[in-house]
Chain A
Amino acid sequence: MNDESALDGTSRKFSGVQQFFLACLRVIVGWHFLYEGWVKITQTGWSSAGYLRAAQGPFAAFFTLLARTPWIINVVDWVMAWGLALAGVMLMLGLFTRLGGIIALVFLLLFYLSNPPWIGVQFMPGEGSYLIVNKNLVELAAVMILLVFPAGLAWGFDRLFANE
């Protein structure tokens, strides 16, 4: 547990504890995405249309436009359900972590922008109080960490590809 291995071929080394918690962050975010995706895949009649139609803020027009066309909604629903699940699996297993992280990043950015808790924007009420920073933004920051640190290499399948 205590090996200070250089994970990404640089001279920087990470302690075992650091590697452990990097992996924990990755697995936790992955679980979150996988469960969100799973629920959307298995729930009959789920559609993102309601959420999209309730979009607020400067990008609301784009999101509501997506909600208005039936075939676009079909595509969006499918991409969202499977994309979330796929990103989740990738992150949980540390397999193609970078790709999983980027997919997660894009989703979180879209969620954040469709209902940004900015001054002057009427946003969907949920639990908690938010001003500019909300849970989507925090998770986005977490994913950024996963992307700039070699999070898949310590306790993940990417390790196998790295050591070739």
Chain B
Amino acid sequence: MADEKKSGVNRRDFLKAAATTPVLGAFGLSIYEKSRRDKSGREEILQIGRKSSNSNPNILKRNYKRSASANDTLNIGIVGCGGRGKSLLRAAGFHPPSEQDDRGLEGQEKLNLRLTAVCDLFTPSIEWAVAASGGQAKVYKTFHELMENSDVDAVICATSDHYHAPVTIAAANAGKHVYCEKCMTKTIPEAFAVREAVKRNGVVFQLGHQNRHSTHYDSAMDVVDKGMLGKITLIQCYTNRNSRNGAWVYDIPKEQGPMSAPDGARNVDWDQYIANTVQRPYDPSRFFRWRCFWDYGTGLSGDLLTHELDVINMVMNLGIPTTCMASGGIYYHKEYTTLMTKDGEPLDSDVPVPDGALPRPDVPVLRREVPDVYQVTYEFADLDLTVVYNATLSNEWGRGQIYLGSEAAMDLSQGVNVYADSQSKMYKKWLDSGSVKPDEPIISFRDVAGKGIEAITAATAQWTVSKGLLYTYRGGRLVNTTYLHIKDWIEHIRDGNQNSMCNIDDGFQEAITAHMATYSYRYGTRVRWDAQNEQIKFDAADRELLDQLVTVS
């Protein structure tokens, strides 16, 4: 009796014990069905676009594979070692022993370079560069003398904009490869001259748009190439900054003065600085804050618009726009008085002003010439496309590029997100069935916050990661994009391949596009590019007709 009861209890017990197992089975089935649906839905959507058209040459330039394995040491010279120049050298692996390695370089391949030549107009910068070279670099007073040195294979040019063309041309004519910072030139005729010199001499040229390496653009190019947005007719791009540093009001060192002065610091070669532009008496703001002045810089056009337009050009393979109209003004950063503490120490441009701060007697009030709020509209008439650039240096709201197509929109502000248009025909089936909603991305590429992620906290730093100006994520790890860009240049030099990531044709297009905006802004007219004859023209208004329209009789 006991046995019988026991076995009966066991079987019944077991049934009751396992009662919830079917629920586990139901769980498994639900998961299977859901992931099957998600996967096929995703595959269906990804099949929507046409097959890759391979019409965008920029796609082929990504993930460049070395053709040779030559890795001989290359000798680098630097002309212009200011703020950007130092960043470039750090990315290339050079810094004074007292400094640390830059972020985003951990675990990256060494480039096997030697810094052998330095040319700069500010003595402390020269000293920094020599220290960064390990003490062995030779110093040249002028860049012409540097170019005569056969011990330099390639030159990095990070001078103010008004010297980009002269230095690049001199380097190319001396058979040296060039990495030139943006904007490629300061004027339109210079763009032609640089292109001619680089092509004639067959040197490897790289223009300083390191943001091309941001992985966001891999996805963006793919999406556009597959036609997933339909017909794109409007692209918006932006710059937002809101700091003195962001508005190019850089620090002025305590010890500074022209070499031609009878006394004082005498560490600025002012005469050489203004040699190819308007002669003026020494003004530290014009030297250290050169971006604020038309004599030496190209304003928002050359500094930040070029980053945006160059990348859009890469994604869409656009070329030079047909027409351009720009407007803007100096609305916020009107005047700046450089301060010092009451003990005479210079104040950092981003530190809040302490009590008792006084105006520095050695720095006149800065009144910039370049606008701080700027709008540019480019028409690409043959491509049925408008690109609008919109910038402010007094607001830091994060805005990313947006590509607006007839079937979908692609938003690059946080990673890459593609949203089906609610009126889309291509995605109608999925919109109707509810598996795609207009306010949720159908495709979303995010920087994979993988293992070993880096915490980027400051708002400006987040902005520079999302735009790829400082860093990008590769395999879950933060990588310095400037390093990637220099590496791309060096690899092309070693392979004898001129098709670098941002080559001379890209540079020419960038320069013309930027200058069209500057000319439109400064001279108040619509600028036109005659692609056939490669000429800039200015649209003239029919004055008589217009006057008639507005005459009050």
Q: In the bound complex, how far is the Cα of B34 from the Cα of A35, in angstroms?
A: 12
Say if the beta carbon of B48 comes within 8 Å of chain A.
no
Q: A38-B31, A70-B452, A163-B9 are in contact. List 6 more A-B contacts (CB 8 A).
A: A47-B449, A73-B453, A155-B17, A156-B20, A157-B18, A160-B13
Q: Which 8 A-B pairs have the closest CB atoms?
A: A45-B448, A70-B452, A155-B19, A159-B17, A157-B17, A47-B449, A160-B17, A74-B451
Decide: A92 and B27 in contact? CB cutoff 8 A: yes
- 0 or 1 for each of B469-493: is its CB under 8 Å from A? (1 = yes): 0000000100000000000000000
Decide: B20 and A73 in contact? CB cutoff 8 A: no
Decide: A34 and B27 in contact? CB cutoff 8 A: yes
Say if the beta carbon of A105 comes within 8 Å of chain B.
no
Residues of A within 8 A of B17 (CB): 94, 155-160
Q: In the bound complex, how far is the Cα of B386 from the Cα of A126, in angstroms?
A: 38
Say if the beta carbon of B450 comes within 8 Å of chain A.
yes
Residues of A within 8 A of B450 (CB): 45, 47
Say if the beta carbon of B455 comes within 8 Å of chain A.
yes
Q: In the bound complex, how far is the Cα of B31 from the Cα of A27, in angstroms?
A: 16
Residues of B within 8 A of A47 (CB): 449-451, 453
How many A-B Cβ pairs are below 8 Å? Answer: 66
Please tell me the number of chain A residues within 8 Å of chain B, measured between CB atoms. 32
- 0 or 1 for each of B1-35: is its CB under 8 Å from A? (1 = yes): 00000000100011011111101100100010001
Shortest Cβ gap from A50 to chain B (Å): 6
Shortest Cβ gap from B439 to chain A (Å): 15
Q: In the bound complex, how far is the Cα of B473 from the Cα of A49, in angstroms?
A: 15
Say if the beta carbon of A89 comes within 8 Å of chain B.
yes
Q: In the bound complex, how far is the Cα of B94 from the Cα of A18, in angstroms?
A: 73
- 0 or 1 for each of A69-90: is its CB under 8 Å from B? (1 = yes): 0100110010000000000010
Interface residues of B (CB under 8 A from A): 9, 13-14, 16-21, 23-24, 27, 31, 35, 448-453, 455, 476
Shortest Cβ gap from B31 to chain A (Å): 6
Say if the beta carbon of A23 comes within 8 Å of chain B.
yes
Interface majority SS (helix, strand, loop, mixed), chain A? helix
Q: In the bound complex, how far is the Cα of B35 from the Cα of A154, in angstroms?
A: 33
Q: In the bound complex, how far is the Cα of B163 from the Cα of A76, in angstroms?
A: 53
Residues of A within 8 A of B449 (CB): 45, 47, 49-50
Q: In the bound complex, how far is the Cα of B13 from the Cα of A74, in angstroms?
A: 42
Residue of B nearest to A38 (CB): B31
Decide: A45 and B476 in contact? CB cutoff 8 A: yes
Residues of A within 8 A of B23 (CB): 27, 31, 92
Decide: A155 and B16 in contact? CB cutoff 8 A: yes
Shortest Cβ gap from A160 to chain B (Å): 5
Decide: B453 and A49 in contact? CB cutoff 8 A: yes
> Given A31-B27, A93-B24, do A154 and B16 touch, yes or no (CB 8 Å)?
yes
A-B CB contact pairs (8 Å), 10 listed: A45-B448, A45-B450, A47-B453, A68-B455, A77-B451, A93-B24, A94-B17, A155-B17, A156-B19, A157-B18
Say if the beta carbon of A67 comes within 8 Å of chain B.
yes
Decide: A70 and B13 in contact? CB cutoff 8 A: no
Q: In the bound complex, how far is the Cα of B17 from the Cα of A77, in angstroms?
A: 32
Contact pick for B20, options A45, A67, A155, A163, CB 8 Å = A155
Residue of A nearest to B450 (CB): A45
Q: In the bound complex, how far is the Cα of B21 from the Cα of A26, in angstroms?
A: 13
> Given A159-B17, A160-B17, do A89 and B455 touch, yes or no (CB 8 Å)?
no
> Given A47-B450, A47-B451, A67-B455, do A35 and B27 touch, yes or no (CB 8 Å)?
yes
Shortest Cβ gap from B42 to chain A (Å): 13
Decide: A93 and B21 in contact? CB cutoff 8 A: yes
Residues of B within 8 A of A23 (CB): 19-20
Residues of A within 8 A of B13 (CB): 159-160, 163
Q: In the bound complex, how far is the Cα of B452 from the Cα of A50, in angstroms?
A: 13
Q: In the bound complex, how far is the Cα of B450 from the Cα of A74, in angstroms?
A: 9
Q: In the bound complex, how far is the Cα of B19 from the Cα of A154, in angstroms?
A: 9
Decide: A70 and B453 in contact? CB cutoff 8 A: yes
Residues of A within 8 A of B27 (CB): 31, 34-35, 92
Residues of B within 8 A of A93 (CB): 20-21, 24
Residues of A within 8 A of B21 (CB): 93
